[in-house]
Amino acid sequence: MILCVSRAIKKGKKIAGFSLIELAIVMTIVGLFVATASQTYRLYTKRTALNSSLEKKNNIEIALGKFMSVNGRLPCPADPALAVGAANAGLENCRPNNVAYPTLACNATNSLCRIEGARGFVFPAAGTTVQGTVPPNPGPERVLRGAVPYVTLGLSPRDAYDGWGSMFTYAVTEMLASSFFLSQGGTTNNCIEVCNKVNENASLSLNAGAGRILTDVVYASYGNGTGTCGTSFTTGACHAAVSVDRIRTRFQGKVSDTYAASNANFGDPCSGTVKNLAVIMRACEATASVSFNEANGAIDHRRWDEGTGTDIKRRNPNVEVAGVQAFDSWMLAVVSHGPDRKGGWNAQGSMPIPCAGQGRDVINCTMNSASFIDPTYVSTTPGTTFYDDAFVSTSPIRESDKWHFSTIASIRNKEGTMVGIGTDSPGTALDVNGAVRAMDAESTAYCNNAGGNCFEARVIGGSGIACSSGWMKGIVNGQAVCETKINTTQIVSGVGSCAAGSYLQGFCSNGTRICKVPGNPDPVCP
């Protein structure tokens, strides 16, 4: 029996399947494919996130430029700890934690702060104005840090978050984000705060007092907020987003004025709810003002230096002191915290990855820092040189003396002058020396260089080529060449017959015959 079984095994068919060596080879090949695909996918997602972040950066810079051109200042930051859709989310907040100036403080969540800047500012004496030069440096200027105020800038919430889902950090020199830039406050500039609160349909009055003017809005809310003057105000769920802008437009630069607390002025943020209007404005000496001047920036911008192997201060080419480009004088900073999202706030108003540990990019998320480091040297190796932030932007896209942002997506020439591209002497409204590529063009006519011999574009569209009577026999310079019908009643038998040696070629519109002599040019109608 044993011999039979042994013989059966020896003579049996070979069992199909992979050997261990074959299986190992297959698994190795599959692993290589998976690793390659995984790496390709990681590169794709990284590139997509970066491109999305850069596109949003451009949108923010354009919006900042438009805001600055319209309001004469930069916006204050928003609070990133407010989730998208929450009351006041995305709105600028120029007074973190509702503290009185010149206190330096952060709010309760450490998401919106007023901190010392990288350089100082000397407030001008009464009757003087600072313009064009960097002031001395006896004490620190202030910087406000928080998030991009997307609602104030007219952007959508998605524009405020980078490609990795973190809200862009936004820091701005306080001097450049205040209406009259009198942000030092206190008794130094004889500034006071003027407050009033009235019920819906009543008139709110503000008076700066003798020798002062109303400068900037500290607080304004038309809605169902609570609180009283002398204590503090709390914005309610019902709040008109235009409150600050409407109050600023009405009162800024005036000694006194009144404004109705009505839906007509603010819109109706909550129909059927009894509302009130609460306002706090700063009032300062009318003779002590500071014009918007980039030289008053107080942010430190740094870049990697290959020679020293460290981050060094970057000079601002737009600001000079004694003929030398200045340090620590950048107006603002917009930061994307990159793939690791360290120190970035999400749309739910929380910070998943704390701003902690080692790395150069930690400086960019530290709330009490007025310094920001550019990604000129990126290192993903853990340690002191680690850096993966996508970018640091330090200026808006600003209008020039000739161009104006009429909307976020369009610009116009304010002077109505001719514009040349590739030529210093334009001869038309837009004169391009070279090819023009238009993916979707609209035009009324196409002409020669002298503006003549025009061909109307509507002809291409099938209109403007019909004849009112008769028929069209051609198109010349974009115009239909028409021929009227022959008046057959004028054709009389035997009258006007062709002379000997000619033959009948046709009839003119007046009924006369067209006779042609062979070899001669074609005759024409009278």
d(CA 96, CA 344): 19
Q: Are 252 and 214 in contact (CB under 8 A)?
A: yes
- Distance linking the first and last C-alpha atoms of the chain: 127
Contacts 24+ apart (CB under 8 A), 248-253: 248/179, 248/216, 248/217, 248/220, 251/206, 251/214, 251/217, 251/281, 252/179, 252/180, 252/214, 252/215, 252/216, 252/217, 253/180, 253/213, 253/214, 253/215
Q: How many helices (H) and strands (E) does the chain have?
A: 6, 30
Cα-based distances in Å from 373 to 176, 303, 313: 21, 6, 9
pLDDT of residue 124: 45
pLDDT, residue 37, reads 61
For every one of its 526 residues, what pLDDT tens digit does the chain have, with 9 covering 90 and above?
A: 444 444 444 554 555 566 777 777 878 787 766 666 666 656 656 688 888 999 999 999 999 998 888 877 899 999 999 999 998 899 998 777 655 444 678 888 999 998 888 876 544 444 444 433 344 434 457 899 999 999 999 999 999 999 999 999 999 998 788 644 443 333 345 678 899 999 999 999 999 888 777 877 889 999 999 999 988 899 999 999 989 888 977 887 788 999 999 999 999 999 999 999 999 988 876 544 455 778 778 999 999 998 899 999 998 888 877 677 888 889 999 999 999 999 999 999 999 999 999 999 999 999 999 999 999 998 989 999 999 999 999 988 876 666 666 555 567 776 677 888 888 888 888 888 888 877 666 677 777 777 777 777 666 655 666 776 666 777 776 677 777 666 656 565 555 678 888 888 888 877 778 888 888 888 888 7
d(CA 277, CA 204): 8
Q: Are 362 and 342 within 8 A, CB to CB? A: yes
* CA separation for the pair 165, 345 (Å, rounded): 8
Indicate the helix (H) or strand (E) that contains 251: helix 243-251
Tell if the pTM clears 0.85, that is, is over it.
no
- How far apart CA 342 and CA 363 sit, in angstroms, is 11
CA–CA dist 378, 358 (Å, integer): 14
Token duo for residue 446: 């196409």
Would you say the C-alpha torsion 197, 200, 202, 205 has a positive or negative sign? positive
Q: How far apart are CA 91 and CA 151, in angstroms?
A: 5
Q: What residues have CB less than 8 Å from 301, skipping those under 6 apart?
A: 313, 314, 316, 330, 333, 371, 372, 374, 392, 394
302, 335, 368, 376 from 310: Cα distances, Å:
10, 20, 21, 11
How far is Cα 470 from Cα 124, in angstroms, rounded to an integer? 83
Element (H or E) spanning 146, and its range? strand 140-147
Using alpha carbons, select from 366, 313, 324, 325 the residue that is nearest to residue 342: 366
How far is CA 213 from its chain centroid?
A: 33
pLDDT at 21: 79
**What is the predicted pLDDT for the residue at 230?**
86
**Reduced to 3 states, what is the DSSP secondary structure of residue 512?**
coil
pLDDT (0 to 100) of residue 84? 95
Where is 289: in which H helix or E strand?
A: strand 289-290
pLDDT at 330: 93
DSSP state of 293: -
Convert the pLDDT of each residue in 464-497 to its tens digit.
667 766 667 777 766 777 776 666 565 655 556 7
Residue-range domain boundaries for the chain: 486-526
Beta bridge partners of 220: 279
CA distances from 366 to 7, 110, 200, 360, 361 (A): 81, 10, 42, 11, 9
Are the C-beta atoms of 80 and 189 separated by less than 8 Å?
Answer: no
300-305/371-373 β-pairing: parallel
The Cα–Cα gap between 115 and 384 comes to 25
- Length of the chain measured in residues: 526
User: Could you tell me the CA-to-CA distances from 158 to 57, 85, 149, 250 in Å, in that order?
Assistant: 12, 12, 12, 31
User: Alpha-carbon torsion 511, 512, 515, 520, what sign?
Assistant: negative
CA distance 125 to 191: 13
121 burial class (0-12, 13-18, 19+ CB within 10 angstroms)?
A: buried
| Alpha helices, H only, 369-439 | none
Each residue's pLDDT tens digit, 291-329: 577 877 899 999 999 889 999 999 888 887 767 788 888
